[in-house]
A and B are shown apart, each in its own frame.
Chain A
């Protein structure tokens, strides 16, 4: 995920669009030079540029899906780590559990940023985003489950009654062996 993002970002820092195919001259500040007809250029390059654009969109979509699937590997690794950590509360297991909780949360916060490079009119990013979110939610669920198995979630009755003071008794009795 990280790697792909880096490459894409570096490649797209700036771009000159040679295949400007807008046909409306009014959209530009500068009028077209005399003798220049936009239509003929369009006709010349349209086939090539469309091909190019399609390839790029495909590539973007493919990359987006790849990025979306990346948390899955993470999930597997986390699961393994959790199994290693055991079910008792100590430094190691707590560290792993909290990292398992923190990673999906931070990933979910940055969903937009992760898919920024693949933003394209032609690319449908909803699918990959949903998958990404779902996988991260899965990771989060795994973390919460781990937290629960460690007994750190107040899900049991015992967590709510452990400091319940004893009930008052209405009656009072005293006495004993006569002095």
Chain B
């Protein structure tokens, strides 16, 4: 008995040691993972003008990042991601040491320490009504050595102390329809002008004492023509606006409190004017620009009312803000785009005709047009002024130009990834050039000597550092060919700017990038939006010579009936093979599981009128499609009115859109959720390319449960209408959450469960026969995760071993979903500490390896959680057999093991999505997490059971082999000698 209990202990120890611990050693960081930091499209940039210290630029971006960049290399000194609901309205530098940010619709003002980015103070500003936010930091506005910041937000003018964020005074502008347009502070005075429009035809001007907020003057004047859009300040007491038709320019001056209007029809200025104009606001004294269609016109204001056109151009033009270079002198930059180059001109505000600087810079076409320009001056060695310009391109990249060259560039478009797919690399052939492996024989030998020293533990600390850097820079991992294990792939990412990037999984470098023609602003497509990426052609077997390609789907404009746009891009070269402007809209894209003879995947595009369009438009594709015609269904989840509808195909389109590849659809079923009590907040299906190894699950005591594995299952979560608001604003009685499992072919609800006292947001992941979802439990005041597993009960009586041995069963024969399934579900819920940003699950080639959930936590990290923790068969006291099966005793919450953070010490700021891709090696899965930052790593959920690990002791193996060989040789010679002696005797 003692032996037996000892053995049991041994076994338990054995099993507990099987728990995969994902932690890695310090020297393994960066071997298979990479991390890249980005900012997003720069919205505003402020140069650090402090004479001493490092040269820096502070930027705010559309991803709500505030960052300080090194002007020499473009590296990030510090960075803060404010979160998606804290949009930055403006930034500036105050007192030469604080970065002031205004965010959240003008309600939060923060100051950050310029050198290290630590927050100094924060103050919240409230106001009577929502309005435009304006932000003014002036060095000349001083109260006892303290600068003040003037902020107009939410209908209130605030003056805030720069030192501690205290509100010095405030003044409300409660006029009913007053829309404040500008806050102007004439230099050298303590006055503030607040100008705005009221009731569309009234111009209002308030003069305020900047030191105490006292209202000095209030004037208003009516203009019968009305106003359109924004105003541009040209002088300290003059602004320019457009009338409501957009055809007449108005110069409004309010000198000495007298408001006067001067009208000037644009047609008088520009001979062949066409269409309404738009003012491009600029802060340059005496100069403003208007835009009519594609024509940009720069206009100079002379004296009070004289307008003069100084430039008219068809090229895209951007104008920088004014930069005061010396007392009373303002400089500004003008950037114009001309096919392959951009022209940068820096001029003085009062002297249009001369250029301070004129440069042309060669520009890659795949960066698109210049969107913004910011300039900064420096003093050259000969005491003259030099200028550097920071430009923001159409693809959201950021470049620094100096002396006619690009000093550095940042691909900040990668901070806003919309969709990701992967592509294989080319197969290694004789012709395909392989990256240079080693420079010369000596280097090669030296490297191997170092490695040998390392394995024999003879290396000095310097050697170890050299070995580590060699390991990290291993050229093997960034090769441009396919590898045996399938670790090297291309990540194809689509960014919000409509640019496609191919990133190498080995080290994350950009292989190619392409600004898509179909997602470019054009006459037919005014506001193109990129939507999705699909694999279009995945060549293998007989179509090996073709390059793989991806399909990019976009649409023109945010409305649901906007026409779609397609692009086909070769993933090896990054060339756009073709692009299509569709006549129909794209509401749904359904990749079909069929391919034609060239391995092109068939895709069905559903438009807003519920017509289905088949791509590719080839006769072969049509014939394949018609063969499967009756078995193809589609469904739509209309989350705004709470209906899920199922459709089938009916026949070719009739009427005006008669097309070979257009098909009519008919509605089959619909599930209508009661609009007053339930609102759809999540709908999740299985990943299309997921591979499931087996349909059977063997449980303790050799029993079998058959998984209900269907591609056509949809998980839908609804919440009570009251519960669809923020957490904390409803009581547990008012809110509930219902989870449904719906068959999308027949519309049958297979399972339904209600969680009382729970609410969203719901994040869910569906894989094999289970779904895991995360929500908030109001009663317990904690987040919860639930798992539902579905099993097919109708298969459970397949217990006759002989039938199974002889294969006389119908377990693998094709099934129709119209046959009534008999399913049972098992579910369980657990508490989970974190709130969640995204959930994904690991996927492997054959689906044999056990699964891990990848949870994007609120701290922007990715946590790997074994699926075994979310097993509905867990009990408080599992039996011996269940323990052997690997069932973990049930506790009420899911463990968070610090070592199982996939991102180890790094953070993927602004985490939005996690993508898993199977490698060729069954044990390994590739994980790509994206947000503002990018992170990539390899994971082995059950450890690398199919290959030797990196820390395998090769030295010991080698020594053993050598020792054995030596022993064999020695004993052989000894025995030879002895035999000889025997023979002589």
From the candidates B3, B10, B555, name the one contacting A90 in the complex (CB within 8 A): B10
Query: A90 vs B593: C-alpha distance in the bound complex, in angstroms?
Result: 45
Q: Is B693 an interface residue (CB 8 A)?
A: yes
Q: Is A167 an interface residue (CB 8 A)?
A: yes
Chain A nearest CB from B889 CB (Å) reads: 19
Q: Is A11 an interface residue (CB 8 A)?
A: no
Residues of chain B with a CB closer than 8 A to A166's CB: 692, 694-695, 707, 709, 812
Q: Is A28 an interface residue (CB 8 A)?
A: no
Residues of chain A with a CB closer than 8 A to B631's CB: 170-172
From the candidates B591, B592, B698, B815, name the one contacting A169 in the complex (CB within 8 A): B815
A-B CB contact pairs (8 Å), 5 listed: A84-B4, A85-B7, A157-B702, A173-B635, A176-B685
| B816 close to A170 (CB less than 8 A) | yes
| A163 close to B693 (CB less than 8 A) | yes
Q: Is B703 an interface residue (CB 8 A)?
A: yes
| A175 close to B816 (CB less than 8 A) | no
Query: A168 vs B704: C-alpha distance in the bound complex, in angstroms?
Result: 20
Task: Provide the B604-617 mask, 1 if CB < 8 A to any CB of A, else 0.
Answer: 10101000000000
Query: A86 vs B12: C-alpha distance in the bound complex, in angstroms?
Result: 14
Residues of chain A with a CB closer than 8 A to B706's CB: 161
List B residues 802-850 near A (Cβ within 8 Å).
Answer: 804-805, 811-818
| A169 close to B800 (CB less than 8 A) | no
Q: How many chain A residues touch the partner (CB < 8 A)? A: 33
Residues of chain A with a CB closer than 8 A to B639's CB: 177
Chain A nearest CB from B742 CB (Å) reads: 11
Query: A164 vs B803: C-alpha distance in the bound complex, in angstroms?
Result: 14
Task: Provide the A144-179 mask, 1 if CB < 8 A to any CB of B, else 0.
Answer: 000000010011111111111111111111111111
| A168 close to B815 (CB less than 8 A) | yes
Residues of chain A with a CB closer than 8 A to B693's CB: 163, 165
Query: A42 vs B813: C-alpha distance in the bound complex, in angstroms?
Result: 85
Query: A86 vs B8: C-alpha distance in the bound complex, in angstroms?
Result: 9
Among A155, A163, A169, chain B packs the most CB atoms within 10 A around the CB of A169
Given contacts A158-B702, A164-B695, contact A174 B798 (CB under 8 A): no
Closest to B591 in A: A174
| B588 close to A172 (CB less than 8 A) | no
From the candidates A85, A159, A165, A176, name the one contacting B812 in the complex (CB within 8 A): A165
Given contacts A162-B696, A165-B812, A171-B745, 14 further A-B pairs with CB under 8 A are A86-B7, A157-B702, A157-B800, A171-B712, A173-B633, A173-B712, A174-B590, A174-B635, A175-B744, A176-B588, A176-B636, A178-B608, A179-B588, A179-B589
From the candidates A88, A154, A157, A163, name the one contacting B884 in the complex (CB within 8 A): A88
Given contacts A166-B707, A170-B816, contact A175 B634 (CB under 8 A): yes
| A176 close to B637 (CB less than 8 A) | yes
Q: Is A102 an interface residue (CB 8 A)?
A: no
Residues of chain B with a CB closer than 8 A to A167's CB: 695, 709, 811-815
| A169 close to B707 (CB less than 8 A) | no
Among B560, B592, B814, chain A packs the most CB atoms within 10 A around the CB of B814
Task: Provide the A122-164 mask, 1 if CB < 8 A to any CB of B, else 0.
Answer: 0000000000000000000000000000010011111111111
| A157 close to B604 (CB less than 8 A) | no
Closest 8 CB pairs of A and B: A174-B590, A160-B804, A156-B702, A173-B633, A161-B696, A175-B635, A168-B814, A166-B695
Q: Is B801 an interface residue (CB 8 A)?
A: yes
Residues of chain B with a CB closer than 8 A to A168's CB: 812, 814-815
Among A88, A169, A171, A177, chain B packs the most CB atoms within 10 A around the CB of A171
From the candidates B632, B683, B704, name the one contacting A177 in the complex (CB within 8 A): B683
Residues of chain A with a CB closer than 8 A to B560's CB: 178
From the candidates B14, B637, B692, B704, name the one contacting A161 in the complex (CB within 8 A): B704
Q: Is A98 an interface residue (CB 8 A)?
A: no
List B residues 397-430 near A (Cβ within 8 Å).
Answer: none
Query: A14 vs B959: C-alpha distance in the bound complex, in angstroms?
Result: 58
| B798 close to A175 (CB less than 8 A) | no
Closest to B682 in A: A177
Closest to B695 in A: A166
A-B contact count (CB 8 A): 156
Closest to B746 in A: A171
Chain B nearest CB from A169 CB (Å) reads: 6
Residues of chain B with a CB closer than 8 A to A88's CB: 7-8, 11, 884
Q: Is A59 an interface residue (CB 8 A)?
A: no
From the candidates B8, B589, B608, B744, name the one contacting A173 in the complex (CB within 8 A): B744
Chain A nearest CB from B86 CB (Å) reads: 26
Measured CB to CB, the residues of A under 8 A from B are 84-86, 88, 90, 92, 151, 154-179
Residues of chain A with a CB closer than 8 A to B604's CB: 174
Chain A nearest CB from B141 CB (Å) reads: 49
Query: A160 vs B799: C-alpha distance in the bound complex, in angstroms?
Result: 10
Query: A173 vs B591: C-alpha distance in the bound complex, in angstroms?
Result: 10
Chain A nearest CB from B984 CB (Å) reads: 38
Measured CB to CB, the residues of B under 8 A from A are 3-4, 7-8, 10-11, 14, 531-532, 553, 555, 560, 586-593, 604, 606, 608, 628, 631-639, 646, 683, 685, 692-696, 698, 702-704, 706-707, 709-712, 744-745, 798-801, 804-805, 811-818, 884
Query: A175 vs B531: C-alpha distance in the bound complex, in angstroms?
Result: 15
Chain B nearest CB from A61 CB (Å) reads: 42
From the candidates B532, B702, B712, name the one contacting A172 in the complex (CB within 8 A): B712
Chain B nearest CB from A158 CB (Å) reads: 4
Chain A nearest CB from B808 CB (Å) reads: 11
Chain A nearest CB from B695 CB (Å) reads: 4
Chain B nearest CB from A128 CB (Å) reads: 36
Among A156, A160, A165, A170, chain B packs the most CB atoms within 10 A around the CB of A160
Residues of chain B with a CB closer than 8 A to A161's CB: 694-696, 704, 706, 798, 804, 811
Residues of chain A with a CB closer than 8 A to B10's CB: 90
Chain B nearest CB from A165 CB (Å) reads: 6
Residues of chain A with a CB closer than 8 A to B606's CB: 175
Chain A nearest CB from B400 CB (Å) reads: 37
Residues of chain B with a CB closer than 8 A to A92's CB: 7
| B804 close to A157 (CB less than 8 A) | yes
Query: A31 vs B11: C-alpha distance in the bound complex, in angstroms?
Result: 79
Among A86, A159, A173, chain B packs the most CB atoms within 10 A around the CB of A173
Chain A nearest CB from B847 CB (Å) reads: 10
Chain B nearest CB from A155 CB (Å) reads: 6
Query: A100 vs B816: C-alpha distance in the bound complex, in angstroms?
Result: 50
Chain B nearest CB from A54 CB (Å) reads: 51
Given contacts A161-B798, A164-B811, A164-B812, contact A172 B628 (CB under 8 A): yes
| A169 close to B711 (CB less than 8 A) | yes
Residues of chain A with a CB closer than 8 A to B637's CB: 175-178
Chain B nearest CB from A65 CB (Å) reads: 35
From the candidates A154, A163, A173, A179, name the one contacting B532 in the complex (CB within 8 A): A179
Residues of chain A with a CB closer than 8 A to B744's CB: 173, 175
Among B10, B606, B703, B704, chain A packs the most CB atoms within 10 A around the CB of B704
Residues of chain B with a CB closer than 8 A to A179's CB: 531-532, 553, 555, 586-589
Residues of chain A with a CB closer than 8 A to B799's CB: 157
Closest to B11 in A: A88
| A178 close to B587 (CB less than 8 A) | yes
| B812 close to A178 (CB less than 8 A) | no
Closest to B806 in A: A160
Query: A157 vs B14: C-alpha distance in the bound complex, in angstroms?
Result: 27
Closest to A155 in B: B801
Residues of chain B with a CB closer than 8 A to A171's CB: 631-633, 712, 745, 816-818
Closest to A171 in B: B745
| B695 close to A172 (CB less than 8 A) | no
Query: A86 vs B884: C-alpha distance in the bound complex, in angstroms?
Result: 13
Residues of chain A with a CB closer than 8 A to B633's CB: 171-174
Query: A167 vs B633: C-alpha distance in the bound complex, in angstroms?
Result: 19
Closest to B768 in A: A166
| B710 close to A169 (CB less than 8 A) | yes
Query: A170 vs B815: C-alpha distance in the bound complex, in angstroms?
Result: 6
Among A86, A151, A162, A166, chain B packs the most CB atoms within 10 A around the CB of A166
Residues of chain B with a CB closer than 8 A to A164's CB: 694-696, 811-812
| A158 close to B696 (CB less than 8 A) | yes
Query: A172 vs B814: C-alpha distance in the bound complex, in angstroms?
Result: 12
